Amino acid sequence: MKTITEQKPFEEIERCLENENNIYIIGCGTCATMCHTGGKTEVLNMKEQLEVLGKKVVGWMVIPTACDDLTGEALKEDAERVNKADAVIVMACAFGTQTVASFASENGKPVYPALNTLFVGKGGESGVFSEICQQCGDCVLATTGGICPVTMCAKGLLNGPCGGTNKGKCEEDPERDCAWTLIYKRLEKLGKVDEMKKYHAPRNYQKVARPGKVLVETEGVKK
Amino acid sequence: MPVSLREVLNSGKFVISAEVGPPKGTNIEKMLHHIDLLRDKVDALNATDNQSSVMRYPSLVTTFLIKERGGEPILQMTGRDRNRMALQSDLLAAYTRGIKNVVCLTGDSIRVGDHKQAKAVFDLDSVQIIKMVRQLETGKDMGGNDLDGAVEFCVGATVTPEADPIEPQLIKFEKKIEAGAEFFQTQAIYDLVKFREFMKYARQFNVKILAGIVLLVSAGMAKYMNENVPGVFVPQELVDEMAAVPKGKGLALQKGIEIAGRMIKELKDDAVCDGVHIMAIGKEDVVPDILSAAGLV
């Protein structure tokens, strides 16, 4: 499971940094490195682009896992350079960016994201990452042969395909498979097509109060 | 005294419905003209709901206008733009204004329309919308709260008899019936041999089927639909028949009217289905010509 990101258009980053001259860049050694959006190569690229713009890059680092709380320690270790910065650019997913922001803001440093976070996905084989779960909080995989219609169907339909399905492809994008054709074929293989005939009630959007927050109780952690 | 759609559906008469396309904008003159032209010639008129995900004048108010002018309106209701609260509100409004028919649809993808950046809702799918209508009829809303005054609707749905693959489509068709659909307006059909096959299957259910008739206006349109419209297949003979029309103003349209009329006549004469739903898509003016070509006027 990885957080899949893309780089923002450079003009957008340029606009954020209009009034900032000394920049510190942070990359991430985990998901953003795998996506080639915030690893060492991309961080050095960003450094070069910012220098072409006339900005001074006062320092940079690739934190092993930017969303981890150890990010605070990493910032402390390079405090001398970080303190010289007017702003911090984060080339990590929004989890990493928010983690960096929570620490950097303590020192009065504004944090700007260089990436857009697209989805939590799986894969990476041949460079393809796909979204297969939206964390809806009310898993329906038991009746759909293990294929998620909430995620894979463009409309998130629960009771079968829409009229837009065509030769196993989706109305929205003829390159994309129709989730309900996949589900039907899977259920057929499992001898469980009857599952598809059962009425599926509307989703309960109260299942997960957003933003989600859960306390996992253990020996040491109690409510 | 106008007769309700449910009465017509249960009368054994060959039912004719058509539709009016709400305009993009506030100039409703042309739509009113179509309503006036068709209200006495068909049994009911659908008001489409932001059809093809293109933002337009609303289907709900269009049904009010049809009603005011003496027609029998069918409210098309999709889950694309409104969540369960908005859909229920609209049904309460519709009922109080004498709207008695609703066709429940999932709705086209936002991405095929003219507001591609909009948030797609799809809180409810077509089956769930049908259930919702039936729930409101019990005097309770979807939250389980009592209504001060319930609703009552003749509930319709849609089906694509030539969907590919067909099995998942038929499962959904049966779920719609189970949820409470009384009648179906089908996606456009052109191959009557295949449609007869579908009807053999559909006849085992206690629902009325109105075959979708989309007016062909050119061979190019037929080819376009074959390539781009899911579940619509115009047989080569019909494409050839359209292509063979000599060039000349209105001749292709005339041929399209003739084909639509011929299909409707065959469906009626052989009692293949319970009626037809004519979608003239911008050519509502010629619906009376289609009806006379079918020998229905």
Best of A143, A159, A170 to mutate (most B CBs within 10 Å, chain B): A159
Tell whether B94 is covered by a domain: yes
**B177-205 pLDDT tens trace:** 999 999 999 999 999 999 999 999 999 99
**A28-66 pLDDT tens trace:** 999 999 999 999 999 999 999 999 999 999 999 999 999
Give the per-residue pLDDT at A51.
98
Give the per-residue pLDDT at A125.
79
Please judge whether A171 and B124 are an interchain contact, meaning their C-beta atoms are less than 8 angstroms apart: no
Tell whether B291 is covered by a domain: no
**A166-219 pLDDT tens trace:** 999 999 999 999 999 999 999 999 999 999 999 999 999 998 888 998 899 888
How far apart, in whole angstroms, are the C-alpha atoms of residue B20 and residue B76? 11
Q: Indicate the residue type of B65.
A: L
Domain boundaries, chain A: 2-120, 134-197
> Among all residues of chain A, which has the CA nearest to that of B178?
A199
Please judge whether A157 and B111 are an interchain contact, meaning their C-beta atoms are less than 8 angstroms apart: no
Q: Does residue A220 surpass a pLDDT of 90?
A: no
**B112-141 pLDDT tens trace:** 999 999 999 999 999 999 999 999 999 999
Residues from chain B contacting residue A164 (CB–CB below 8 Å): 108-109, 112, 230
- Express the helix, strand and coil content of chain A in percent, nearest 5 each: 35, 20, 45
Q: How confident is the model at residue B297 (pLDDT cuts 50, 70, 90)?
A: confident
For chain B, the average pLDDT equals 96
Give the per-residue pLDDT at A209.
83
CB pairs under 8 A between A and B: 92
Query: For B219, which DSSP code?
Result: H
CA distances from A181 to A149, B88, B126, B164 (A): 10, 30, 17, 9
Residues from chain B contacting residue A165 (CB–CB below 8 Å): 163, 168-169, 230
How far apart, in whole angstroms, are the C-alpha atoms of residue B45 and residue B16? 9
How far apart, in whole angstroms, are the C-alpha atoms of residue B169 and residue B198? 12
**A90-129 pLDDT tens trace:** 999 999 999 999 999 988 999 999 999 999 999 877 889 9
Residue A191, chain B, CB below 8 Å: the answer is no
Give the per-residue pLDDT at A107.
87
**Contact between A147 and A182 (Cβ < 8 Å):** yes
Q: How confident is the model at residue B171 (pLDDT cuts 50, 70, 90)?
A: very high
Window A:165-184, CB contacts with B under 8 Å: 165-168, 171-173, 180-181, 183-184
**A126-142 pLDDT tens trace:** 889 999 999 999 999 99
Record the tokens describing residue A105, joined without a space.
Answer: 């803001």
Best of B124, B172, B178 to mutate (most A CBs within 10 Å, chain A): B172
Percentage above 70 pLDDT, chain B: 99
Tell whether B83 is covered by a domain: yes
Tell whether B45 is covered by a domain: yes
The SS3 of residue A5 is strand
Our CA angle for B186, B222, B172, nearest 5°, is 25
Provide the CATH number for the domain around residue B122: 3.20.20.220
For residue A84, give every residue at least 6 positions away whose Cβ sits within 8 Å of its Cβ, in sequence order, or none.
A22, A24, A58, A59
For residue B111, give every residue at least 6 positions away whose Cβ sits within 8 Å of its Cβ, in sequence order, or none.
A154, A172, A173, B53
How far apart, in whole angstroms, are the C-alpha atoms of residue A147 and residue A132? 8
Our CA angle for B216, B218, B224, nearest 5°, is 85
Record the tokens describing residue A131, joined without a space.
Answer: 């979204």
CA distances from B4 to A195, B24, B29, B75, B184 (A): 37, 29, 26, 14, 16
Reported as type and span, the H/E element at residue B279 is: strand B275-279
- Kindly provide the b/e burial profile for residues A149-160, where b requires at least 16 CB atoms within 10 angstroms of the residue's own CB: bbbbbbbbbbbb
How far apart, in whole angstroms, are the C-alpha atoms of residue B83 and residue B133? 14
**B82-97 pLDDT tens trace:** 999 999 999 999 999 9
Residues β-bridged to residue A129: A123
Query: For B81, which DSSP code?
Result: S
Question: What value does the mean pLDDT take over residues B52-77?
Answer: 98
The domain tally of chain B equals 1
Give the per-residue pLDDT at A208.
83
How far apart, in whole angstroms, are the C-alpha atoms of residue B107 and residue B76? 10
Best of B52, B78, B127 to mutate (most A CBs within 10 Å, chain A): B127
> Among all residues of chain A, which has the CA nearest to that of B187?
A163
Question: What range defines the domain where residue B109 resides?
Answer: 5-215+272-284
> Among all residues of chain A, which has the CA nearest to that of B188?
A163
How many C-beta atoms lie closer than 10 Å to residue A60's C-beta? Answer: 20
Q: How confident is the model at residue B248 (pLDDT cuts 50, 70, 90)?
A: confident
DSSP string, B2-52: PPPHHHHHHHT--EEEEEE---SSS--HHHHHHHHHHTTTSSEEEE-SSGG
Question: What value does the mean pLDDT take over residues B154-162?
Answer: 97
For the question of an ipTM over 0.90, the answer is yes
**B9-24 pLDDT tens trace:** 999 999 999 999 999 9
CATH superfamily, region A2-120: Response regulator (3.40.50.2300)
The SS3 of residue B233 is coil
How far apart, in whole angstroms, are the C-alpha atoms of residue B110 and residue A183? 23
DSSP string, B92-161: HHHHHTT--EEEEE----GGGSS-TTSPP--SS-HHHHHHHHHHHHTTB-TTSPBPSS----EEEEEE-T
The residue among B204, B160, B157, B161 whose CA lies nearest residue B176 is: B157
Best of B109, B136, B176, B187 to mutate (most A CBs within 10 Å, chain A): B109
Q: How confident is the model at residue A222 (pLDDT cuts 50, 70, 90)?
A: confident
Residues from chain B contacting residue A168 (CB–CB below 8 Å): 164-165
Question: What value does the mean pLDDT take over residues B245-261?
Answer: 94
Give the per-residue pLDDT at A178.
97
Please judge whether A180 and B142 are an interchain contact, meaning their C-beta atoms are less than 8 angstroms apart: no
User: How far does the CA of residue A38 sit from the closest CA of chain B (Å)?
Assistant: 27
Give the per-residue pLDDT at B2.
61
Tell whether B103 is covered by a domain: yes
Query: Structure pTM?
Result: 0.95
Please judge whether B165 and A156 are an interchain contact, meaning their C-beta atoms are less than 8 angstroms apart: no
The residue among B180, B182, B177, B185 whose CA lies nearest residue B46 is: B185
Residues from chain A contacting residue B127 (CB–CB below 8 Å): 159-160, 199
Give the per-residue pLDDT at B1.
47
For residue B71, give every residue at least 6 positions away whose Cβ sits within 8 Å of its Cβ, in sequence order, or none.
B2, B35, B38, B39, B40, B44, B45
